[in-house]
Amino acid sequence: MATRTAAQQRADAKLAYDAYVAECPTRQLLDRISDKWVSLLINALAEQPQRYGDLSRRVAGISQKMLTQTLRAMERDGLVSRTVTLAVPVRVEYALTPLGRGLLPVMRAIMSWAEANMDEVLAARSDYDSANGT
């Protein structure tokens, strides 16, 4: 329970002391989209609707906790749908909603940029590192 509550109170706190957020509510959404796991999950689900275990393997680095937590948050925001098929092994399938699917072009744009400029970033990175010794 502490998980979502914590995220919530951070958002609330921000709204309280950050006028910039208040006059531009899209910051909340940008925060949600700018989540590491959200972007990965959206891309994963873009290929096809997938089950919990599939996503767990597809994204690989994610823990069950964060997978559940992120999936819940995305479901709450209407980005993904959660379909439970009651069977002997319970089957839960996650899929992108039309709303979530609308994020795909944006995600693809990010991926494209990353692919195109990866080497430049790597160069800058090693450059910076060599300048700082360690």
Partner DNA sequence: CGGGATCCGTCACGATACTG
Partner DNA sequence: CAGTATCGTGACGGATCCCG
Instruction: Give the integer Cα–Cα distance in Å for 64 and 68.
Output: 6
Encode burial over 74-83: b for 16+ CB neighbours within 10 A, e otherwise: beebebbbee
Site for its own copies contains 92 (CB under 8 A): no
- CA 42 and chain centroid, separation: 7
95 binds, among DNA, its own copies, none (CB under 5 to 8 A by kind): none
Site for its own copies contains 14 (CB under 8 A): yes
Helix, strand, coil shares, percent, the chain, to 5: 70, 10, 20
Instruction: Give the integer Cα–Cα distance in Å for 9 and 112.
Output: 34
109 binds, among DNA, its own copies, none (CB under 5 to 8 A by kind): its own copies
Site for DNA contains 121 (CB under 7 A): no
Task: Indicate if the alpha-carbon torsion angle 55, 57, 60, 63 is positive or negative.
Answer: positive
Site for DNA contains 69 (CB under 7 A): yes
83 binds, among its own copies, DNA, none (CB under 5 to 8 A by kind): none
Q: By CB under 7 A, what part of segment 29-68 binds DNA?
A: 51-54, 56, 61-66, 68
Which is nearer to its own copies, 2 or 88 (by Cβ)? 2
Contact residues for DNA, defined by CB under 7 A: 1-3, 5-7, 9-10, 17, 51-54, 56, 61-66, 68-69, 71-72, 82, 86, 89-93
